[in-house]
Amino acid sequence: MYLEYFQLKQEPFNIAPNPNLMYPSNRHKEAIGYLRYGLRGSGGFVMLTGEVGTGKTMVSRAVLGDLPDTFNVAYILNPTLNNIQLLQTVCESFEIPVEHNDDHKVLSDALQLFLIEQDKLGKSSLLVIDEAQHLSTQALEQLRLFTNLETNDKKLLQIILIGQPELQEKLNTRELRQLAQRITARYHLLPLTKDETFAYINHRVIAVGGSRPLFDKKAMTTIFQQAKGTPRLINLLADRALMGAYAKGQFFVDYKTTKQAALEVFGGQLDNHLHRNKKVAIYSAVIVIVVVFSLMLARYFF
């Protein structure tokens, strides 16, 4: 709705994980570097963790988009599966035909044969599991067994686990210590800093054809305070603020518009920064009134 008004080619703050709009912060570049390093090695597991909305899926897609054609990639988005369902999903993702797909041994044998054949053809096989914190202990152990398939110099299956911090906690348990020891590269993605948030907002605007900044400094500060550096929340707030500026006929987003956007996005549950600012303003006004009133009384009596 506001694209033509602000002369933009597409929505700059769409929450879909589009690698073309990724802001290359130091954290995100490091995460990409760690994943690439892990995939170049001969190990079985690479792990990427981070809080909700920090850009894990964006990072993984940037890495996958840069892989050579020699990689077969299977991507699992819903890992809330039992062992049989996990095997079925892996085989389906690699497009492995299996006649009796409810038999654990048949599925395992089919996967093993596929991996061996692909290796003979000079191809690597990669399994990516998003939201991996939902995997059961039994499913994670089964994944470890998948990586037992190997040649003299490499694993036949590499696995990227992407998940929230709970995944780290799960892998720290005694039951999964063997899997944890097979993780050759791991990275925990943190939220953006204040300066990175400013750069992130301006980068997204420029990336979709914007010719000028659309947010003033106070607006971006408010977005950082409310989103706490989390890219997904930054996108939600910035998009709503742009809509608000468009509705008001403004050519840039100011503090007042951003504050209203935050109220709408968070349903009135604002961070204490705004509440503190409001209290300070009220207290300042009260002090001014008291001082003026005192001066008037002093002049009257003296």
Burial class (CB in 10 A: 0-12, 13-18, 19+), 81: middle
> Residue 200's pLDDT is what?
97
Grade residue 289 by pLDDT with cuts at 50, 70 and 90.
low
Q: What are the DSSP E strand ranges found in 152-205?
A: 157-163, 183-189
Torsion angle of alpha carbons 193, 166, 273, 269, nearest 10°? 140
Distance CA 221, CA 55 (A): 20
Task: Convert the pLDDT of each residue in 88-136 to its tens digit.
Answer: 999 999 999 988 778 889 999 999 999 999 999 999 999 999 999 999 9
Task: Convert the pLDDT of each residue in 63-87 to its tens digit.
Answer: 998 898 999 999 998 888 888 999 9
Q: What are the DSSP E strand ranges found in the chain?
A: 45-50, 71-76, 124-129, 157-163, 183-189
Grade residue 281 by pLDDT with cuts at 50, 70 and 90.
very low
- Residue 77 tokens read as 């988005």
Please state the pTM of the whole predicted model.
0.83
Task: Convert the pLDDT of each residue in 44-59 to its tens digit.
Answer: 899 999 999 999 999 9
The residue length of the chain stands at 302
Average pLDDT, the chain: 88
Q: How far is CA 294 from CA 282, 284, 286, in A?
A: 18, 15, 12
